[in-house]
């Protein structure tokens, strides 16, 4: 995977029509946007293009309409909020078809310094199928394509990859930062390089573990996935989450770490309870036991205090740290201490710190550590596939520098 891609800074924008794929998949409740973080994140590149004299045709999906027109998932609410944030009107067609004649005419009449937003791309079945006809209709509106929705680049959709068959394609500021920070961390990291993986299942991160063992100096495994590794060491894990079919895989990974000289850290103590909290944030009775002393009727739900110190010490001595996945059931205050400890260790570190999307990113935001992290990825699934070393279709299609 070549991470050295042309960005919007490398091309002439004046007088050009630019199709810009944004991530405006914002949470909406009862017709109200409950968080505009994703819209705010797109403002720098949109302002830059408008100031450079481009006419901008922004586009995105919202929710999962699965190729059906669902008025509740219309982008009109986003166009209104985007206009408020930009301080200028954002045009949008009345029609709910993203490539209607009305939308095409609006794009054609758009002047330099003006911006419009297309309707929800996923209202058309052609978007998720990467249908060339739909991709060509999108491309016909513009002279240039700018990709800036990192959360979608692992999908080969019409608006993320297909349009690049018809238009010169470059990245926006958000993807430029993802490639510059995460790409460099994987290709040429400052060492020691430490990766921290958590989350529920080993099966979700099989290829990530395998790929990172080729690159890191220390690999830390926490969260639900740690119990399959502990089982692979011959420990009883009680009723803890267990991928029983992946025990041999975990043995292989431990052997690979040994052969590569990679330090593999697993929890040495565990916070256990007799049952999973129901509801998830309900009060719960817990105790901390050694990781080789989990009783048959107990389940591990967070890393213990000694493990928190062990993991934090490894993070503090690193020059590069990548973290993806919580250390326990962090939605419950009693079971959040492990995740908090890792977030705190990254915030206190002088290292280049990179947090993958999803729960780890949410934890850093909630705890107020976001401004102390070098880079928080804007894409959960995309950042995982990045860590796997996979070629991401929405990145591969961009012009190389």
The reply to whether 117 and 157 lie within a common domain is: yes
The reply to whether 330 and 380 lie within a common domain is: yes
Report the range of poorest mean pLDDT among 146-155, 308-317, 343-352, 364-373: 364-373
Residue 394 falls inside a structural domain: no
The reply to whether 367 and 222 lie within a common domain is: yes
Residue 400 falls inside a structural domain: no
**Quick count: other Cβ atoms within 10 Å of Cβ 175?**
28
Strands 269-273 and 287-290: antiparallel
CATH code, domain carrying 209: 3.40.50.1260
The reply to whether 98 and 37 lie within a common domain is: yes
Contacts by 80-84, CB closer than 8 A, 24 or more apart: 81/33, 81/36, 81/39, 82/24, 82/39, 82/42, 82/46, 82/58, 82/115, 82/117
Residue 276 falls inside a structural domain: yes
Quick one: CA dihedral 291, 295, 301, 305, positive or negative? negative
What is the per-residue pLDDT for 88?
97
Residue 223 falls inside a structural domain: yes
Residue 251 falls inside a structural domain: yes
Average pLDDT of the segment spanning 119-130: 98
Report the range of poorest mean pLDDT among 196-205, 208-217, 327-336: 196-205
The reply to whether 105 and 213 lie within a common domain is: no
What is the per-residue pLDDT for 34?
92
The reply to whether 74 and 165 lie within a common domain is: yes
- Give 221-264 pLDDT, tens digit per residue: 999 999 999 999 999 999 999 999 999 999 999 999 999 999 99
- Give 256-298 pLDDT, tens digit per residue: 999 999 999 999 999 999 999 999 999 999 999 999 999 999 9
146 torsion bin: left (phi>0), alpha (psi -120 to 50), beta (else)? beta
Average pLDDT of the segment spanning 169-198: 92
Average pLDDT of the segment spanning 5-11: 97
Share of the chain above pLDDT 90, in %: 85
Q: Name the domain boundary from 177, 202, 233.
A: 177
The reply to whether 247 and 324 lie within a common domain is: yes
What is the per-residue pLDDT for 68?
96
The reply to whether 254 and 360 lie within a common domain is: yes
- Give yes or no for residue 1 having a pLDDT over 80: no
The reply to whether 205 and 353 lie within a common domain is: yes
The reply to whether 26 and 162 lie within a common domain is: yes
Split into its structural domains, the chain has a count of 2
The reply to whether 90 and 226 lie within a common domain is: no
Q: Name the domain boundary from 144, 177, 210.
A: 177
What is the per-residue pLDDT for 207?
86
What is the per-residue pLDDT for 367?
85
Reduced 3-state DSSP string for the chain: CCCCECEHHHCCCCCCEEEEECCCCCCEECCEECCCHHHHHHHHHHHHHHHCCCEEEEECCCCCCCCCCCHHHCCHHHHHHHHHHHCCCEECCCCCCCCCHHHHHHHHHCCCCCEEECCCHHHCHHHHCCCHHHHHHHHCCCCEEEECCHHHCCCCCCCCCHHHHCCCEEECHHHHHHHHHHHHHHHCCCCCEEEEECCCCCHHHHHHHHHHCCCCCEEEECCCCHHHHHHHCCCCCCCCCCCHHHHHHHHHHHHHHHHHCCEEECCCEEEEECCCCCCCCCCCCCEEEECCCCCCCCEEEEECHHHHHHHHHHHHCCCEEEEECCCCCCCCHHHCHHHHHHHHHHHHCCCEEEECCCHHHHHHHHCCCHHHCCEECCCHHHHHHHHHCCCCHHHHCCCEC
Residue 395 falls inside a structural domain: no
Q: Indicate which residues carry an active-site annotation.
A: 38, 201, 358, 381
The reply to whether 383 and 263 lie within a common domain is: yes
Which range marks the domain in which residue 81 is found?
Answer: 8-177
Residue 349 falls inside a structural domain: yes
Mean pLDDT of the chain: 94
Share of the chain above pLDDT 70, in %: 99
| Cα 286 to Cα 336: distance, rounded to the nearest angstrom | 12
| Cα 193 to Cα 206: distance, rounded to the nearest angstrom | 19
| Cα 132 to Cα 139: distance, rounded to the nearest angstrom | 10
- Give 80-94 pLDDT, tens digit per residue: 999 999 999 999 999
Residue 3 falls inside a structural domain: no
Q: Name the domain boundary from 177, 209, 231.
A: 177
């Amino acid at each position: 995977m070549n991470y050295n891609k042309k960005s919007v800074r490398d091309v002439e924008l004046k007088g050009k029509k630019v199709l810009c794929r944004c991530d405006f998949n914002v949470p909406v409740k009862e017709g109200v946007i409950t968080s505009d973080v994703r819209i705010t994140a797109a403002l720098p590149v949109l302002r830059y293009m408008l100031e450079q004299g481009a006419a901008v045709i922004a586009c995105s999906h919202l929710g999962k309409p699965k190729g059906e027109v669902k008025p509740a998932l219309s982008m009109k609410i986003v166009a209104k909020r985007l206009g408020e944030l930009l301080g200028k009107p954002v045009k949008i067609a009345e029609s709910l078809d993203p490539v209607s004649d009305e939308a095409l005419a609006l794009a054609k009449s758009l002047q330099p310094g003006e911006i419009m937003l297309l309707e929800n791309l996923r209202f058309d079945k052609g978007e998720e199928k990467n249908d060339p006809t739909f991709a060509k209709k999108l491309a016909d509106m513009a002279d240039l394509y700018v990709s800036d929705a990192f959360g979608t680049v692992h999908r080969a959709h019409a608006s993320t990859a297909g349009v690049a068959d018809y238009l010169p394609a470059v990245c926006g500021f958000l993807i430029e930062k993802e490639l510059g920070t995460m790409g460099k961390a994987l290709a040429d990291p400052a060492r020691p390089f430490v990766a921290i993986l958590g989350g529920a299942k080993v099966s979700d991160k099989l290829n990530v573990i395998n790929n990172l063992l080729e690159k890191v100096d220390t690999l830390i495994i926490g969260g639900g996935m740690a119990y399959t590794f502990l089982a692979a060491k011959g420990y009883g894990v009680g009723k803890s989450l267990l991928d029983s079919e992946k025990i041999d895989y975990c043995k292989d990974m431990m052997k690979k770490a040994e052969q590569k000289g990679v330090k593999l850290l697993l929890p040495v103590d565990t916070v256990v309870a007799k049952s999973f909290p129901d509801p998830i944030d309900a009060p719960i009775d817990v105790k901390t036991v050694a990781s080789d002393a989990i009783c048959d009727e107990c389940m591990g739900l967070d890393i213990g205090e000694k493990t928190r110190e062990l993991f934090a010490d490894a993070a503090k001595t690193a020059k590069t740290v990548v973290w993806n996945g919580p250390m326990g059931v962090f939605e419950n205050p009693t079971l959040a201490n492990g995740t908090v400890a890792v977030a705190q260790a990254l915030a206190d570190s002088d290292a280049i710190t990179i947090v993958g999307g999803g729960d780890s990113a949410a934890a850093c935001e909630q705890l107020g550590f976001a401004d102390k992290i070098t880079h928080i990825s804007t894409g959960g699934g995309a950042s995982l596939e990045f860590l796997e070393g996979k070629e991401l279709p929405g990145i591969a299609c961009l012009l190389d520098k």
